[in-house]
Amino acid sequence: MIMSTLYQAPEHEFEAQPGLPEPLPSNEQIIWQGSPDLKAFAMHAFHIHWFAMYFGVMVLLKGIAVSQSVGGWSQEWPGFIWALGLSIAALVLIGLLAYWSVNTTMYTLTNRRLVMRIGIVLTITFNLPLKRLAQAGVHIYKDGSADIPIRLNPEDKIPYLHLWPHARAWKLAHPEPMIRCVPDGKHVASLFADAWASANQVDLNQRESSPLNGNPAKSTNHAYGSDMALVKVGQSSL
């Protein structure tokens, strides 16, 4: 069963271990812990570069309108300053949201589960047992960071708004949790696949043909098992 633990701890000072609301059992070990890369997260989760372009165009158009107005800059400059100030404030707010989100996020992969500690004001911890994960993908960006979307079993469902922005876009009917913009994403995806395979006793004897090693798979049923196809869902040029 997928479980979530809600608790308010902005600085996470009451965690038993970083990223974990309680101590791990003696038979469970941490394989990997990490957080999103701030720059990649701001670009790919909050799309700050597109917002910057949008507000830049709006300010430019406002400047052109002021230049062509009857009063000119001598009379219309307050309107331009107001538009510029709002644009800068909006971009700063988006950047702060990205920073706070990264600062409060911790992904923990153990030999039994994936733990996602997310949330800015109200922290939510999702415990995702590896045996209940159906499929995963990896989207590697040009800087080496990656998104790893995870498909849950049909009977398990987490509300999209509880996951956002740690969710695959547009998967609203059956939301998919996503490890977002982690550095060295190819390595993390490989660790994730190995952990799942070990927990589910799947043989990785064909691992060399995995798309994680640069060889795209024609089918989702390959070395990681028919129920856990770790396939590359995209390669970004950004």
Same domain, 93 and 178: no
Alpha-carbon span 206 to 208, nearest angstrom: 6
- 226 inside domain: yes
Q: How confident is the model at residue 204 (pLDDT cuts 50, 70, 90)?
A: low
Alpha-carbon span 36 to 44, nearest angstrom: 11
This prediction has a pTM of 0.78
Quick check: 190 and 212 in contact, CB under 8 A? yes
- Cβ-based neighbours of 109, under 8 Å, separated by 6 or more: 30, 31, 32, 33, 115, 188, 191, 192, 195
Phi, psi dihedral angles at 232 (to 5 degrees): -75, 120
Q: Which domain, by its residues, includes 201?
A: 130-235
DSSP state of 211: G
Per-residue pLDDT tens for 72-111? 887 888 889 999 999 999 999 999 999 999 999 999 999 9
- 198 inside domain: yes
- 116 inside domain: no
- 110 inside domain: no
Bridge partners for 117 per DSSP: 106, 125
Per-residue pLDDT tens for 43-53? 999 999 999 99
Q: Is the pLDDT of residue 3 over 80?
A: no
Bridge partners for 32 per DSSP: 109
Domain count along the chain: 2
Q: How confident is the model at residue 135 (pLDDT cuts 50, 70, 90)?
A: confident
- 229 inside domain: yes
Average pLDDT, the chain: 81
